[in-house]
A and B are shown apart, each in its own frame.
Chain A
Amino acid sequence: EVQLVESGGGLVQPGRSLRLSCVGSGFTFDDYAMHWVRQAPGKGLEWVSGISWDSGSVGYAASVKGRFTISRDNAEKSLYLQTSSLRVEDTALYYCVKDGGSRLFPSRSALDIWGQGTMVTVS
């Protein structure tokens, strides 16, 4: 079974940092680009960041650029999101998401496998 499991969320004060992690299983992790997508309570989906299979290409939404850093460790089948200078508006459920068909970032593939999310509350 293809699975993504996130961890690392929690309650944090504004201005502080948090590192989110995601472990993939059931697929060849380094065959795919990976993404983070977030959802504020009661709101819609917002793409946050993406990374190519080899970490050679990364991208960020304007709302987090300069504050968040995406990375991955293919040997550990893990994806990370280092968040810093957190704001109240960063409060959201953060999903780890597998790219639907490409090693490359950016790609034009859909986002085909989603984890259950890890909640970040900035207050």
Chain B
Amino acid sequence: ETGVTQTPRHLVMGMTNKKSLKCEQHLGHNAMYWYKQSAKKPLELMFVYSLEERVENNSVPSRFSPECPNSSHLFLHLHTLQPEDSALYLCASSQGGQPQHFGDGTRLSIL
């Protein structure tokens, strides 16, 4: 496999469920990112992992919890989400100062 792979592609969950999104990059990059993309809004950076250091957007609610076990894998753990959290969640990776490469996202729907 090449590039950035995200699973699952679609996820429907209730507000009380716990689920995780997975991202894997096969590009040898040293930084990984989570973004939220809502309709008609700019991509919103949620978290950055760079050389195992985490940088986060302070406006991201604590019901979103990232995990980066190594430079190739990134998870986003979801817990007691709200309907407004329904969106496309995109993972990206980059190396040094080079542009970010994106996966195809997980379409999340909260019932």
User: Does B associate with A?
Assistant: no
